[in-house]
Chains A and B, each alone.
Chain A
Amino acid sequence: MSDAPKNGRGNGGPRVGVYVCHCGSNIAGMVDVAEVARWAGEGLPGVVVARDYKFMCSSLGQEMIEEDIRQQKLDRVVVAACSPHLHEKTFRRACANAGLNPFLFQMANIREHVSWCSEEKGPATDKARATLAGAVRRVAHQRALEPMAVKVNPATLVVGGGIAGIQAALELADAGLPVTLVEREPSIGGHMAQFDKTFPTLDCAACILTPRMSEVGQHENVTLLSYAEVEEVKGSIGDFTVTIRRKARYVKEDACTGCGVCIEKCPQSVVDDVYEAGLGYRKAIYRPFPQAVPKYPVIDTACCTYFKSGKCKACQIFCTPGAVDFEQRDETVELHVGNIILATGYELFDCTRIPQYGYGRLANVFTSLEFERLCNAAGPTTGKIVLRDGVTEPKRVAVVHCVGSRDTRHHEYCSAVCCMSALKFGHLILEKTKAEVWSFYIDMRPLHKGYEEFYHRLLKEGMHFVRGRVAEVTDAARLPGEEGKLIVQYEDTLLGRQRRLPVDMVLLMGALEPRADAKANALKFGLSCSMDGWLTERHPKLDPVATMTDGVFIAGACQGPKDIPDSVAQGAAAAARVHGMISRGQVLIEPVVAQIDEEHCSGCRVCNTMCPFNAIEYVAAETVSRINPAMCKGCGTCVAACPAGVITGNHFDNTQVFSEIEGVLWDAAV
Chain B
Amino acid sequence: MTDHAHDHHDHPFEPKIVGFLCNWCSYRAADLAGTARIKYKPNIRVIRLMCSGRVDPAFVLKALARGADGVMVAGCHPGECHYLVQNYKTIRRFQLLKHTLAALGVEDARVRLQWASAAEGQLLADAINDMVEKVRALGPLEWPHKWREGNGLDRLEAEVTAEDARLGPPHREAVPEEVRP
Contact = CB atoms under 8 A, between A and B. Distances in A.
Determine whether A and B are in direct contact in the complex, meaning some CB atoms lie less than 8 angstroms apart.
Answer: yes
A117 B33 contact: yes
Interface size class of A (residues with CB under 8 A): 35 or more
Contacts of B172: 609, 612
Contacts, number: 199
A130 interface: yes
A358 to B, nearest CB: 27
B181 A519 contact: yes
A529 interface: yes
Given A609-B168, A635-B51, A126 B179 contact: no
B5 A654 contact: no
B63 A637 contact: no
B62 interface: yes
A119 interface: yes
Interface in B43-90: 45-51, 53-59, 62-63, 66-68, 76-77, 79-86, 89
Given A109-B46, A636-B53, A667-B3, A523 B179 contact: yes
B89 A637 contact: yes
B54 A116 contact: no
A122 B54 CA distance: 33
Contacts of B162: 643
Interface in A91-121: 109, 111-120
A520 B5 contact: no
A641 B89 contact: yes
Contacts of A84: 48
A654 B51 contact: no
Contact of B8 (A85, A109, A531, A669): A669
A670 interface: yes
A131 B46 contact: yes
Contact of B34 (A116, A123, A526, A667): A116
A114 B49 CA distance: 18
Contact of A610 (B18, B58, B168, B180): B168
A615 B28 CA distance: 26
A114 B168 CA distance: 39
B18 A661 contact: yes
B175 interface: yes
Interface in B119-160: 119, 125, 140, 142, 144
A636 B68 CA distance: 24
Contacts of B93: 640-641
Interface in A334-348: none
Contacts of B48: 84
A269 B64 CA distance: 71
Contacts of A608: 169
A567 interface: no
Looking at B3, B31, B89, B171, the one whose CB has the most chain A CB atoms below 10 A away is: B31
A652 interface: yes
Interface string A307-338: 00000000000000000000000000000000
Contacts of A123: 14, 42
A306 interface: no
B42 to A, nearest CB: 4
Nearest to A639: B54
Nearest to B166: A643
A83 B31 contact: yes
| Interchain residue pairs A-B with the least CB separation, the first 6 | A668-B67, A112-B34, A643-B165, A636-B54, A637-B53, A116-B34
Given A113-B46, A636-B54, 15 more contacts: A109-B31, A109-B46, A112-B33, A115-B34, A117-B34, A126-B3, A134-B47, A519-B179, A520-B175, A523-B84, A523-B174, A640-B53, A640-B55, A640-B164, A664-B46
Interface of A: 43, 83-85, 109, 111-120, 122-124, 126-127, 130-131, 134, 516-517, 519-520, 523, 526, 528-531, 536, 548, 592, 604-606, 608-610, 612-613, 633-637, 639-643, 645, 649, 652, 654, 657-658, 660-662, 664-665, 667-670
Interface of B: 1, 3-6, 8, 14, 16, 18, 24, 27-28, 30-31, 33-35, 37-40, 42, 45-51, 53-59, 62-63, 66-68, 76-77, 79-86, 89, 93, 117-119, 125, 140, 142, 144, 161-162, 164-165, 168-175, 179-181
28 contacts: A113-B30, A113-B34, A114-B34, A117-B34, A118-B42, A119-B39, A122-B4, A131-B45, A523-B85, A523-B179, A528-B24, A528-B80, A531-B80, A609-B168, A610-B53, A635-B50, A636-B51, A639-B56, A640-B56, A640-B93, A641-B165, A642-B165, A652-B49, A657-B59, A661-B47, A668-B68, A668-B144, A670-B66
